[in-house]
Structure 1
């Protein structure tokens, strides 16, 4: 069964389940930042987050679902340089301590999530304005970087076959993206909670608010995993919602509430082909693979682009 290319196929979960008859369970979810409740949002962060065009959550989905900005400089810092800790301290007032033996200094991305939570889970009540700004920096992430990291997590997760195999990244984005398009695993939505935008359009909800309240499915996850796998195997094109955000004059109109203007602000960037960068992760944005979701003609197969296996090692 050919899926992607030989480099990925032999370790792909689909190949292992179908051809090797392995009984794989669902992936474990790694908690990141605000979604876990460990990093609480502080209203004092708002002026600094608005300054960066960021709101407290392919490019089109990142905009519509999370309202995170796309344009801007790449999110990266050279942790191979001896000065990266000072750069981090300048931005967020502290950095992980260096080990006594420099040979053991192998932190791949500057700071672990555990370290961030331990140091920035709550902003002190009496914090000076400079401290609040630094804590706000520790709280946020950027759209293109978040998308690059999710791509990389999906690359790794599709080949995870160990009992503790996991997946991380902006999984709210992945969940809403899937629910909007596929009937598989889609929860039942309930009535919205009241939303207070403080009379500020930039604090209106994003497209994800449609899924703010859902009826949970508490069935055994192992059984659901097999059920969802079987349903995806039999999915037909007619069952897919190709343009979940609407089309024509109705594009970006959720009907039940007013959408945050940030969701559509960078619409002109959604079709660009470019590298997505998050620290060590470099992924390519290739919207020409999904032109139908833009209401455009989809060539089949789309023009092939080598994504360079070396970028994924």
Structure 2
């Protein structure tokens, strides 16, 4: 985990995650991160086409070359290193053609996908399956990226729980958008949230997503507070069930209201299929 992530908080949360229900079990009941949280905190679309495309047996080097212009020599299993993307697509050449500009744009988006939205537990690589979704910019924004992020995070938390139960390790090795989980915790449990945020002004429809108000807090480093967080959750008496409504009604205008917020639906990210169960 990066320095901006409170590893102790994430560990304390994951220890309470139950894969069979996709919820955190707290003394006051079950609670989970939902599609509403993802849409409100990140601004990612939760409605749209499922994040999945036909990935037939293919030469990934060929795909990479077609969409990015070239491919790494050590490409294996359709996985590229984020360091390779940074090295080869850091600066757009002057007077670049539309084709080259598109290649650099895809490389940048793929880097964000691998670093932020769907990082593996190493945080160092990204699969080229996501690149296939970026082939056509007209359709790339029509995918339910937020739903896929949640599916991936659910799966990763389940894996971490299994790792904790099968080993003597007390450290969580977690992939997925962990920062989003941390923002969710700060919204739901204000007693453990940083006191200073971006602004106390109302968030308008033209502003950044709700999660942006926590950006200053995401730059600080966190010490080892695992025992304190465990004690906090052991003695938890209240949860903020409607954090976004209670703080700022104006923000609702920047995230289209969706029946999906409360829908029991499958969350899809390629081969990962998890259930969204806000009804629990």
The TM-score with structure 1 as length reference comes to 0.55
Distance 1:270 1:218, change over 3 A: closer
Instruction: Quickly say closer, same or farther: Cα 1:169–1:97, change in 2 above 3 A.
Output: same
Structure 1 CA distance for aligned equivalents of residues 17 and 87 of structure 2? 41
Q: C-alpha distance in 2, partners of 1:193/1:118?
A: 39
Aligned with residue 155 of structure 1, among 133, 158, 174: 158
Residue 133 of structure 1 pairs with residue 133 of structure 2: no
Q: Secondary structure at the match of 1:145?
A: helix
Which structure would you say has the larger Rg?
1
The corresponding residue for 1:229 is 230
- Report the alpha carbon displacement of residue 233 of structure 1 after superposing the two structures with TM: 1.1
For 1:177, the equivalent position in structure 2 comes to 184
**Larger RCO (CA within 8 A; separation ≥ 6):** 2
3-state secondary structure, aligned to 2:279: helix
CA displacement, residues 37-86 of structure 1 (integer Å, 9 cap, x when unaligned): xxxxxxxxxxxxxxxxxxxxx21111111111122333335666124443
Q: Deviations over 1:179-235 (max 9, x none)?
A: 0001353111145399xx9xxx66x211112213239775632xx011111111110
Q: CA deviation at 1:156?
A: 1.7
The equivalent residue for 2:37 is 61
Count residues with an aligned counterpart. 214
Q: Distance in 1 between matches of 2:69 and 2:102?
A: 10
Q: How far, CA to CA, are the matches of 1:213 and 1:287 in structure 2?
A: 30
> For residues 3 and 154 of structure 1, what CA distance do their matches in structure 2 show?
7
8 A contact 1:149–1:281 mirrored in 2: yes
- With over 3 angstroms needed to count, the CA separation of the structure-2 counterparts of 1:122 and 1:172, relative to structure 1, is farther
Which residue is equivalent to 1:210? Answer: 213
The structure-2 alpha-carbon separation of the partners of 1:282 and 1:138, relative to structure 1 and needing over 3 Å to count, comes to farther
> Partner residue of 1:189?
196
SS of the residue 2:245 aligns to: coil
After superposition, what is the alpha-carbon deviation per residue over 1:239-282, rounded to whole angstroms, capped at 9, x for unaligned?
211000116xx86425xxxx772xx2252322233222223322
CA contact (8 A) 1:70 1:266 kept: no
What runs of 5+ residues in structure 2 fail to find an aligned partner?
1-15, 23-33, 114-144
Structure 1 contact 184–232 (Cα < 8 Å) conserved: no
Matches within 5 A, 1:234-249: 234-236=235-237, 239-246=238-245
CA RMSD, aligned part only? 3.8
1:272 touches 1:285 (CA, 8 Å); kept in 2?
A: yes
Q: Secondary structure at the match of 2:163?
A: coil
C-alpha separation between the residues in 1 aligned to 2:274 and 2:185?
20
Residue 174 to residue 215, structure 1, CA distance change in 2 (3 Å): closer
Secondary structure at 2:244's aligned position in 1? coil
Distance 1:78 1:96 in 2: 23
Q: What TM-score, normalized to structure 2? A: 0.61
| Aligned 1:238-277 pairs, distance under 5 A | 239-246=238-245, 252-253=249-250, 261=254, 264-265=255-256, 267-277=258-268
Give the Cα separation in 2 of the matches to 1:252 and 1:135.
38
Q: Say whether the 8 Å CA contact 2:160–2:174 is kept in structure 1.
A: yes
